Amino acid sequence: IHHLKPYELYRLFSSISPLMKIGLFIIDVRRDFLNILTSRLLSTLNRRYTSDFKNDAIQSMRRAYTVDELSWLLGQVPGLSSVTVKPLAPVYLMAEAGTK
């Protein structure tokens, strides 16, 4: 989901939430300083990666959502309830939301 801008993500979830029977479950990378730094370091040291791949890896981390940002965004979507977003391991976040 980190490839979608906030308004695109909101529109996506708003359009599919009426079709959900139970809710949604998301695992995605999460943005924090250590993840961005690690991504930059690993992509710089690996000579097999192309420059495009290296740049995309770093941009993906920069575009990723924080736990608070995704929690707020999902809380705005009509039809979703019981939104829970939390860290999952050092790099990922997990989101669950039920339907009303």
**pLDDT at residue 57 greater than cutoff 80:** no
What mean pLDDT do residues 69-76 have?
95
Question: What confidence score (pLDDT) does residue 15 get?
Answer: 95
Tokens for 78?
């009509």
| DSSP collapsed to 3 states, 58-92 | HHHHHHCECHHHHHHHHHHCCCEEEEEEEEECCCE
Sign of CA dihedral 47, 52, 53, 57: positive
Tokens for 90?
């050092």
d(CA 3, CA 29): 11
Question: What confidence score (pLDDT) does residue 98 get?
Answer: 93
Per-residue confidence at 34, pLDDT binned at 50, 70, 90?
A: confident
